[in-house]
Amino acid sequence: MGFWKRLVGREQKAASLDDLIREVYGGGRESRSGVVVNVQTALEVATVLACCRVIAEGVAQVPLKVYRDASGGNAPAKDHPVYQRLYRRPNPWQTSFEFRETIMFHMLLCGNAYVFINRVGEKREVSELIPIEPHRVTVKQNKDYSLEYRVTATETGESTVFGQDAIWHLRGPSWNSWMGMEATKLARNAIGLAVTLEQGQSEFQKNGASPSAAYSAKNKLSKEQFVFLSGWIDRHMPGGDRYGKPVILDDDAKWTSMMMTAVDQQLIETRKFQIEEICREFRVMPIMVGQSDKAATYASAEQMFLAHVVHTLAPWYQRIEQSADVNLFSEEELTAGYYTKFIPNALMRGAAKDRAEFYAKALGSGGSGAWMTPNEVRGLEEMDRIEGGDELAKPVVNKPADPRSEE
């Protein structure tokens, strides 16, 4: 059941994979710090990996279901083929969690994610959703504004052109409306500086946290003496196995430090700032990637976690929901009321008291009018519907007591 075996009868043409890699990854763009930043080097930065994981896992761990808006209320459309593809098994080798985690990494780092929609039968039902690595896809906008996708096979180098009906194209923030902007390109200076700082710190520790120095000789050195001293310094310079050991000099020679220490460079402060800078690029609060806020209390930390759901994850939920609706459903299905929806309430369990108060007011407690039905509340909590739960509660009107009743 190989992916390319499904592409029967399509014209194929050889294409250069290197060209596609340069198109998507930019062949590695050099940052102002001199470091080449691409997807691979970006992921090697702990903060970038942490930001991608906290967003991707936040999207993957929340149930994504298909619903139908009917006269009797909104209910999960478990009989629809797309329901099982999104909620359980998109393809034979991935779970729904793994599938969504993969496409989120693609969108976060490359700005675009591509999924082959395998439709079968006369009804063109969705039987599989197969993620495609972004570097294998080249997108072209035609004169009629339609999009076509050239996908290159990794093993053979053969390429196939697909129309919009076969490719689910998920975009991040876009400038031209049809291609997402590449995050590793936009954030390359912040990421590049983080790479440079980490490399500098690694070299610093590798050399025994001892800075470089100057060896000053009293007399002029001959070529042979210079070669001898260079080799001697390489063998006996403090650092590594010789950390903390003295340097023995003769002939009135001097050993003078020439570099700043980590404290002088404010290296720790700079590295902390780069964590915050990268978090800004991904719109992730530092506390979500392990950068603690010493001023945070338990209550404020809880609000930060809730803010992460509202301001970081919710826009991604909305982006994916709308993209799935227009790419996975036909016009007839959309007219019939089918739509996809994330259920993020599982992430809000820490605010159980706040949710209980909200639901109570929504159901009309305190004499206020109800704006939610019991079944709508139960649906948000992943609970089964109940008979008679689609009616709004009527407000309770407290009538003044009749004085005559006291007689």
What value does the mean pLDDT take over residues 2-8?
45
For residue 115, CA distances in Å to 209, 319, 392 come to 48, 15, 41
Q: What is the pLDDT of residues 176-188, one digit of tens each?
A: 999 999 888 888 8
Q: What is the pLDDT of residues 337-379, one digit of tens each?
A: 999 999 887 666 556 666 777 777 777 776 667 777 887 777 7
Q: How confident is the model at residue 159 (pLDDT cuts 50, 70, 90)?
A: very high
CA dist., res. 20 & res. 43, Å (int): 20
CA dist., res. 338 & res. 332, Å (int): 9
| Residue 310 contacts residue 268 (beta carbons within 8 Å) | no
**Domain limits of the chain?**
1-209+261-342, 212-258, 352-398
Strands (DSSP E) contained in 124-273 are 125-132, 137-141, 147-152, 158-162, 167-171, 213-216, 254-257
Residue with tokens 């964590």: 275
Q: What is the pLDDT of residues 26-71, one digit of tens each?
A: 445 666 666 788 888 889 888 899 999 999 999 999 999 999 987 6
Q: How confident is the model at residue 7 (pLDDT cuts 50, 70, 90)?
A: very low
The dihedral sign for the CA sequence 24, 29, 31, 32: negative
What DSSP character marks residue 36? E
Which range, of 7-11, 72-76, 160-164, 314-318, averages the lowest pLDDT?
7-11
Closest CA to 15 of 132, 152, 139, 149: 152
What DSSP character marks residue 248? P
In this prediction, residue 59 carries a pLDDT of 95
- On the question of pLDDT at 14 being above 50, the answer is no
Percentage of the chain modeled with pLDDT above 70: 67
**Which amino acid is present at 406?**
E
The pairing of strands 147-152 and 137-141 is: antiparallel
What value does the mean pLDDT take over residues 246-274?
63
In this prediction, residue 191 carries a pLDDT of 83
Q: What is the pLDDT of residues 86-123, one digit of tens each?
A: 999 999 999 999 999 999 999 999 999 999 999 998 88
